Structure 1
Amino acid sequence: MMIFASDLDKTLIYSKKSMKETLSEDELVPVEENGGAFTSFMTQSALSWLTLITQVASFIPVTTRTISQYRRVFQFSKNVNVKYAVTSNGGNILVDGEPDQEWCEHVRLAVESSASREEIKMMYDEISSPEWALRGWLCDDLFYTMIIDPDKTPLEILDQFRSKLLAQGWVLSIQGRKVYLVPERITKGDALLYLKERIGATYIAASGDSLLDESLLKVANYAISPRHGELYALYGDSHHYRFTESSGIRASEELLEWVHRGFLEHKSQLISSR
């Protein structure tokens, strides 16, 4: 059994604002609906590559989105066979659309070693200012999403805050206008390892663009990241991760083509070794 585990936003699916180029309507496939409007898209080519991948591997969406936000992505339930999904940055695992209670209990026990949500929110309020910290909310009772004004945000203050958070067992990730505050013990990688053992997988390919995806990439046999993401900004081409040549929505086509090629090569190696 082989797994393709991938982040969603700015890795596989894109809002029109995050595409980095204007595509014709014929090139785009709506994948998410919110409030009666289509809000995220894939290219026709990317969806075709993903469909080919599902013929040789199990596709597992892995996202920081909450359960309700993930359920807005209708395309996967409509045209792509998805039995397992990881949401809430690894805090929840969905099996046939419903939370896995064994994993929920594991997460509950894991976060007890970190500072409480209330302490972290208090720390953030102390360093933030209404000039750049616009609003925020608690997601699935697990972590915070904070909206900022990137042009007015003093990044040096957030960098210092990141170090303080680590001492409290929490991590900080900046993705455009969003700042995520997440318990260190809740990771996409740990959730994927749980699923790997559950379904008996032997090979994992993974993709993701942000620091919150790094735990996912680290547990994979093959990892690829879009060039436009937080990981590329941090590591550049010097890191051992493969980065796409393309940026924006075209990066999804490139990484899916590479993943499909990697699965076929791995399958061929298995056959030749018998």
Structure 2
Amino acid sequence: MIFASDLDQTLIYSVRSKGEIELEDMLPVELYEGRYISYMTKPALQKLTELAGMMAFVPVTTRIPEQYNRIFGIRETFNPPFVIVSNGGTVLKDGEVDQEWQSVVRGAVKQHCAGHTEIAELFAKISSSHWVKSNDLCDELFYSIVVERDRLPHEELESLRRQLAPLGWSYSLQGRKIYLVPEKVSKGAAIQYVKEKLGATYVYAAGDSLLDESLLLAADYALSPVHGELGRFYSEHPHIRFTEARGALASEELLAAILEHARRS
């Protein structure tokens, strides 16, 4: 069995996203420039430890490898043999880039998706310093754009979304970031690859954003924090269960549900 989970706002939380729980009731899990910036609740960490003892824990994130490596509370505590980073564009095996998957993904992107320079040119037509704070090409695969959310030009962005689809790219707004991602780069495809490598027959998965949807659809049992992009997009879903709790408490609820289901199974 596998537990494949998104990290940010699913298992780990910033001070801004943690919700009502007090910070002293949480444990730091990420260190950046000398300060802690992400946390887990103590019960969530205990439940995750129990789950990792029952099945393979596979962290799944849109972060690039360098950003994932900052999360010492996941990397050092669990030392997962497989980690999916860069939204599925890269798989780490024992901390090193899996070259087989690297070749598969980049070949598919080259064959089926428009080049990232073409996408950059489309975005540049609507971009403005009034609402764009930074724009980064991540892992030579996708764009991560930090924005002023209350200043977004929604009509222009919806037009961009429509232009991206026939070019094989997708658009996702998560918090203060816009992601422009080739459709051949997905967490769902990556977990299928890892599932085969581990010889697993059952996958539990958790994630909060539309970029996690492919991961959740590839799983046998899928959960999503109700506070996330998926929870706002769907009032209900035939395959995905949503938590009742919001913020960091949602991580405790979803981990408890998976533990209970795994014990029964």
- TM bucket normalised to smaller: over 0.9
Please show how residues 98-137 of structure 1 align to structure 2 within 5 Å. Answer: 98-112=96-110, 113-137=112-136
Residue by residue over 1:11-50, the C-alpha shift from the partner in whole angstroms, topping out at 9 and shown as x without a partner, is 000010111225141x111111010111100000000000
For residues 197-236 of structure 1, the aligned pairs below 5 Å read: 197-236=196-235
- Give the superposition deviation at 1:239: 4.8
Q: CA RMSD in A?
A: 1.1
Q: Which residue of the other structure, out of 40, 46, 69, is the alignment partner of 2:44?
A: 46
Q: How many residues are aligned here?
A: 264
State how far apart, in whole Å, the 1-side matches of 2:238 and 2:217 are.
Answer: 12
Deviation at 1:265, TM superposition (A): 1.8
Alignment partner, residue 58 of structure 2: 60
- Unmatched runs of 5 consecutive residues or more in structure 1: 267-274
Aligned counterparts of 1:86 and 1:13: Cα–Cα separation in 2: 16
Bigger drift between 160-169 and 234-243 goes to: 234-243
User: Residues 54 and 81 of structure 1 are in contact (CA less than 8 Å); yes or no, is this contact kept in structure 2?
Assistant: no
The yes-or-no answer on 1:90 pairing with 2:88 is: yes
One-letter amino acid of the counterpart of residue 97, structure 2? P
Distance 2:97 2:129 in 1: 36
Letter in 2 for 1:201: A
Shift of 1:263: 1.3
Alpha-carbon distance in 1 for matches of 2:183, 2:167: 9
Candidates 52, 70, 73, aligned match of 2:71: 73
Residue 55 of structure 1: CA displacement?
1.3
Structure 1 match to 2:177: 178
The residue that corresponds to 1:251 in the other structure is: 250
State the AA in 1 paired with 2:73: Q
Deviates more, 1:156-165 or 1:37-46: 156-165
Q: Deviations over 1:33-75 (max 9, x none)?
A: 0101111000000000000101111000000000000000111
Counterpart of 2:260 in structure 1 is: 261
1:18–1:111 Cα change, 3 Å: same
| Residues 19, 45 of structure 1: alpha-carbon distance in 2 compared, 3 angstrom cutoff | same
Superposed CA deviations along residues 226-258 of structure 1, whole A, max 9, x for unmatched, are 000000111123554100001111101101111
Equivalence for 1:271 = none
Structure 2 distance, partners of 1:238, 1:42, is 27
**Structure 1 position 195, deviation (Å):** 0.7
Q: Which whole-Å CA distance do the structure 2 matches of 1:238 and 1:98 have between them?
A: 36
Q: 1:68 to 1:248 in 2, by over 3 A?
A: same
User: How far apart in 2 are the matches of 1:238 and 1:109?
Assistant: 33
2: CA distance, partners of 1:150 / 1:109: 34
2-side partners of 1:77 and 1:126: how far apart? 40
- Structure 1, 206-215 or 257-266: larger mean CA deviation: 257-266
What TM-score comes out, normalization by structure 2 length?
0.97
Given that residues 21 and 249 in structure 2 are in contact (C-alpha distance below 8 angstroms), is that contact kept between their aligned partners in structure 1? Answer: no
Give SS of 2:133's match.
strand
1:28 aligns with 2:13: no
In structure 1, C-alpha distance between the alignment counterparts of 2:227 and 2:74, rounded to whole Å: 24
For structure 2, the residue ranges without an aligned partner over 5 or more in a row are: none
